[in-house]
Amino acid sequence: MSGVREPVTRRRFMRRTAAAGATIGAGGLLAACGSDDKSSGSTGASTTAKTTTAAAATGVGAQLQKILGKPSNILAKGPGTLAVAGQFALTGQGSVYGDLQSNGWKYGVKHVEAWTGGKLKFDTTFYDNKSGLPQAEAAAGRQAGLKGVPVLVNSYIFGFGAIVPFAKQYKMFCPDPGGGTGPVPGPFAAQPYCYGFRAGWPTDCLDGLFKYLRETYPEKKNWATVQVNIAPPYNNSVQAYMKGLFKTYNINNLGFTLAPIGATNYSSVIQKVKQQKPDVVIFITFGTDVAYQAKEMVRQGVDAIKATADFNPTLAKLAGPAIKDWYFGFDYLNTTNPPSDWSKFFIDEWGKDHGGELPSFYHAGDYVTAFAVAQLVDRILAKGGDIKSGDEYVTALEANPAFPHVYGGSGSTLGQIVIDPKTHSPKAIPMLAFQSMGTGDVKDIKPLATYDIKAANYQTI
């Protein structure tokens, strides 16, 4: 979910993606859960700002080796500094989340260096996607490719698809922990070299949320949906998936009301919802849009159960009490009760280094992705491969698509993200259903259930 944005109409979105050549198959797609980085020195579509890390902290490194095990091949062969790249929103209105995903990556880079005893360091060049501007995203892919990096960390669902042709042309391994592949099935699943490192949003998040709501409110069968208005490939993919869930859970679908992106006034949208007289309203929207929609629901006095699949610091603060008792369900970092040794370590260390702040799920996604890339380096070295070849990362991932995660797990047993080699999106990643207390602070939540893709391993808390 991206942050504060200029209003983007369906026509404007389609015109943008066409101008950038970002249409892949059925067309362009807005990134659910985009990412950003605030860095200076940007010129045009790229910036020369780089990330390097200080000397490894032996205490942190020792703890990480105890939690994750030792990266034996990196320790033995000492690959040194590896040049990689990232495309984030360095400028523009989406950069409100720049300190989230990019800082998560940077913190992961720091901890990878500690984990490897300084034997592996990522030197990251950041490129500016200008908060989702297709031309800038395409330029980022081209410049990263020309630089010859084997890994390009992504946001905005591979730059609204603009990165896809460059990933293929330059054979760059492209993980996206901010937006993943988008809906599954959808227009950006299974694209060469491009892999989602978070749940496919929103489709993968909905099964467990639907299950919780149906079991908690079996009498509430009339559901309405507010869906962000992107473009037909995106909207049709999400609607088809949700119609299947409505049938599975015996829900009366009152219809889909489309909402513009980045607006602050949703009175007409909520008026349509109110006229439907729903028992439950599912919001397939994100970022500040959810906050303004929540406030409008209060203003118009819509008495219904509300649920969505995004919750972040900006949203929580802007919505305040309007979001109280809303239900949420997606791949979220449980800071209330960290389930595993790694999740507790990550949350504690982040707080120590950031003035007591809690990390967000954006931080967690990129942090974990830094370790996933490092683990792929370790696997490539074990086979005597070339860590500067993007093809080697794809081969290593598809040979073993499982990586530890700070989501899920229990104690020394860590949670896992497992990538499906067919869809290039997770087939397993721990998720959390919870409620907000409406205080304006993301830490004030009530965890309700844990689940996985397709509501697998569903358990109430």
Q: In this structure, is residue 301 part of a structural domain?
A: yes
What is the identity of the amino acid at 175? P
Task: Indicate whether 71 and 111 sit together in one domain.
Answer: yes
CA 189/CA 414 separation, integer angstroms: 27
Provide the phi-psi class of 438: left if phi over 0, else alpha when psi is between -120 and 50, else beta. Answer: left
The answer to whether 61 and 68 have CB atoms below 8 angstroms apart is no
Q: Which residues contact 49 (CB under 8 A, 6 or more apart)?
A: 39, 40, 41, 42, 125, 126
Task: Indicate whether 184 and 253 sit together in one domain.
Answer: no
Task: Indicate whether 297 and 261 sit together in one domain.
Answer: yes
Residue 388 burial (CB < 10 Å; 0-12/13-18/19+)? middle
Q: Which residue range(s) make up the domain with 186?
A: 1-199+340-428
Q: Write down the pLDDT at residue 49.
A: 44
CA 236/CA 230 separation, integer angstroms: 10
Q: Write down the pLDDT at residue 384.
A: 98
Task: Indicate whether 195 and 228 sit together in one domain.
Answer: no
Domain with residue 388: its CATH number is 3.40.50.2300
Task: Indicate whether 96 and 6 sit together in one domain.
Answer: yes
Q: Write down the pLDDT at residue 6.
A: 35
Task: Indicate whether 242 and 365 sit together in one domain.
Answer: no
Q: Write down the pLDDT at residue 101.
A: 86
Q: In this structure, is residue 137 part of a structural domain?
A: yes
Q: Which of 354, 377, 342 is nearest to 104 (CA)?
A: 354
Task: Give 389's DSSP letter.
Answer: -
Q: Write down the pLDDT at residue 75.
A: 98
Task: Indicate whether 178 and 248 sit together in one domain.
Answer: no
Q: Residue 446: helix, strand or coil by DSSP?
A: strand
Task: Indicate whether 217 and 165 sit together in one domain.
Answer: no
Give, for all 461 residues of the chain, the pLDDT tens digit.
Answer: 333 233 333 333 334 333 333 333 333 333 334 333 333 333 334 444 444 444 344 699 999 999 999 999 999 999 999 999 999 888 877 676 667 889 999 999 999 999 999 999 999 999 999 888 899 999 999 999 999 999 999 998 898 899 999 999 999 999 999 889 999 999 899 999 999 999 999 999 999 999 999 999 999 999 999 999 988 988 999 999 999 999 999 999 999 999 998 899 999 999 999 999 999 999 999 888 999 999 999 999 999 999 999 998 889 999 999 999 999 999 999 998 999 999 999 999 999 999 999 999 999 999 999 999 999 999 999 999 999 999 999 999 999 999 999 999 999 999 999 999 999 999 999 999 999 999 999 999 999 999 999 999 999 99
Task: Indicate whether 58 and 166 sit together in one domain.
Answer: yes
Q: In this structure, is residue 399 part of a structural domain?
A: yes
Task: Indicate whether 208 and 188 sit together in one domain.
Answer: no
Q: How many domains does the chain have?
A: 2
* Cis peptide leading into residue 165 (ω within 30°): no
Q: In this structure, is residue 77 part of a structural domain?
A: yes
Task: Indicate whether 167 and 277 sit together in one domain.
Answer: no
Q: Residue 88: helix, strand or coil by DSSP?
A: strand
In DSSP terms, 27 is beta-bridged to 24
Q: Write down the pLDDT at residue 17.
A: 38
Q: In this structure, is residue 335 part of a structural domain?
A: no
Q: In this structure, is residue 47 part of a structural domain?
A: yes
Q: In this structure, is residue 393 part of a structural domain?
A: yes
Task: Indicate whether 259 and 359 sit together in one domain.
Answer: no
Q: In this structure, is residue 348 part of a structural domain?
A: yes
List the structure tokens of 52.
């390097």
